[in-house]
């Protein structure tokens, strides 16, 4: 380009060509090269796509989980959960949960608290059969976890996770998921019960409002309310809330608190919430520290003890 302008500039000065011709020429040259540039960019995209495809195929090559289909029974749990000296290491030798023992009676509500990395989510993962544990036993309704089909376990446990996954589709489908038995009225009913109805009705197409994958058009709090509605639609006997510290506006926060109170009724519940105000009304609080269960009791018992819970509480309220 520099050479063309230098040489062409000389020609213009000598009146051999007009400046317009030189301009046109440089413009055309650029037009010529743009598709070639585009082409090499497409090649980069293609490379990226190939790398992605490789990962997808890696994943598809993974052996399938053992679904224990033959044991599938569509049973309904009563909701008694027992951890009996459970040890877990994701990597050999690095114990993430150490000798965890506790028992939750059907319908009892407990809270798990502890610093980040203390193993709260790991306890939930184990209950859902996501990872094998190394020592001890987890029992549901008195029978070892391994005696149930994974399908039965997951059908009986309703979970609201840190990151609520929203599927592309509409709001209704995101609440009912693939449960065809659910009527539109029932969907509206559960949404009303968990306070999700209000914001849904403000959407232009209400329950038919399309949502994008991952729910970019919804706020964190709204996604959580949808997740609550999902859980309620399935009516599981065990409810788990694993909530991250998230910036939820005060109004939605109040709606969530209210929904939570309703959803735990008659369900064994494990609540992991970072705002200790969320968990004060549970029956029992378990305090985890570096994979060990260090304290257990009611909110006031634990405050009296002036241990780890007391420290966590003071950190939030002073």
Ligand X SMILES: Nc1ncnc2c1ncn2[C@@H]1O[C@H](COP(=O)(O)OP(=O)(O)O)[C@@H](O)[C@H]1O
Phi/psi for 289 (5° steps) reads -140, 115
Per CB under 6 A, the list member of 120, 223, 230, 267 interacting with ligand X is 120
Minimum separation from the CB atom of position 242 to Mg ion (A): 6
- The footprint of ligand X on residues 90-109 (CB under 6 A) is 90, 96
Pattern 95-134, binding to Mg ion, x per CB under 5 A? Answer: --------------------------x-------------
Question: Should residue 40 be labelled a site residue for ligand X when binding is judged by CB under 6 A?
Answer: no
Give the span between the Cα atoms of 156 and 237, in whole angstroms: 6
Give the span between the Cα atoms of 98 and 235, in whole angstroms: 32
Minimum separation from the CB atom of position 274 to Mg ion (A): 9
Q: Is 100 helix (H, G, I), strand (E, B) or coil?
A: strand
Give the span between the Cα atoms of 9 and 17, in whole angstroms: 9
97 vs 227 by CB, closer to ligand X: 97
The region that residue 37 occupies, defined by phi over 0 for left and psi between -120 and 50 for alpha, beta otherwise, is alpha
Give the number of other CB atoms < 10 A from CB of residue 190: 22
Tell me, by CB under 6 A, how many residues bind ligand X.
10
Burial pattern 17-56, b for ≥16 Cβ within 10 A else e, equals eeeeebeeeeeeeeeeeeeeeeeeeeeeeeeeeeeeeeee
Question: Should residue 118 be labelled a site residue for ligand X when binding is judged by CB under 6 A?
Answer: yes
Report the run of H or E that residue 240 belongs to, with start and end. Answer: strand 238-242
Question: Should residue 114 be labelled a site residue for ligand X when binding is judged by CB under 6 A?
Answer: yes
Give the span between the Cα atoms of 171 and 210, in whole angstroms: 7
Which partner in Mg ion, ligand X, none is near 33 (CB below 5 to 8 A by kind)?
A: none
C-alpha distances (whole Å) from 118 to each of 76, 277, 287 are: 31, 20, 9
Per CB under 6 A, the list member of 8, 109, 113, 121 interacting with ligand X is 121
Question: Should residue 62 be labelled a site residue for ligand X when binding is judged by CB under 6 A?
Answer: no
Question: Should residue 122 be labelled a site residue for ligand X when binding is judged by CB under 6 A?
Answer: yes
Minimum separation from the CB atom of position 119 to ligand X (A): 4
Per CB under 6 A, the list member of 8, 119, 129, 215 interacting with ligand X is 119
Which partner in ligand X, Mg ion, none is near 119 (CB below 5 to 8 A by kind)?
A: ligand X
118 vs 268 by CB, closer to ligand X: 118
Which residues form the interface with Mg ion (CB under 5 A)?
121
Which residues form the interface with ligand X (CB under 6 A)?
90, 96, 114, 116-122
């Amino acid at each position: 380009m520099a050479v063309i302008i230098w040489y062409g500039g000389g020609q213009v000065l000598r009146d051999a060509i007009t400046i317009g011709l030189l301009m046109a020429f440089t413009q055309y040259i650029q037009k010529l090269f743009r598709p070639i540039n585009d082409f090499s960019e497409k090649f980069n995209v293609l490379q990226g796509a190939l790398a992605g495809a490789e990962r997808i195929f890696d994943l598809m090559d993974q052996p399938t989980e053992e679904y224990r289909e033959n044991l599938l029974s569509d049973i309904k749990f009563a909701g008694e959960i027992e951890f009996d000296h459970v040890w877990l290491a994701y990597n050999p030798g690095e114990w993430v949960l150490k000798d965890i023992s506790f028992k939750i009676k059907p319908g009892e509500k407990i809270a798990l608290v502890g610093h980040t990395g203390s193993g709260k989510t790991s306890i939930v993962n184990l209950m859902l059969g996501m990872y094998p544990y190394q020592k001890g036993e987890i029992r549901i309704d008195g029978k070892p976890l391994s005696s149930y089909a994974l399908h039965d376990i997951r059908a009986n446990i309703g979970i609201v996770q840190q990151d609520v996954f929203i599927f592309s589709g509409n709001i209704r489908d995101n609440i009912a998921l693939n449960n065809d038995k659910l009527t539109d009225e029932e969907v509206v009913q559960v949404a009303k019960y968990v306070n999700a109805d209000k914001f849904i009705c403000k959407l232009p197409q209400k329950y038919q409002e399309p949502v994008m994958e991952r729910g970019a058009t919804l706020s964190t709090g709204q996604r959580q309310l949808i997740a609550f509605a999902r859980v309620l639609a399935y009516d599981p006997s065990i409810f788990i809330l694993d909530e991250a510290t998230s910036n939820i506006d005060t109004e939605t926060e109040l709606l969530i608190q209210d929904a939570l109170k309703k959803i735990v009724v008659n369900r064994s519940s494990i609540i992991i919430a970072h705002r200790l105000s969320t968990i004060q009304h549970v029956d029992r609080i378990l305090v985890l520290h570096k994979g060990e269960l260090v304290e257990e009791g009611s909110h006031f018992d634990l405050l009296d003890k002036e241990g780890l819970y007391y420290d966590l509480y003071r950190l939030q309220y002073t």
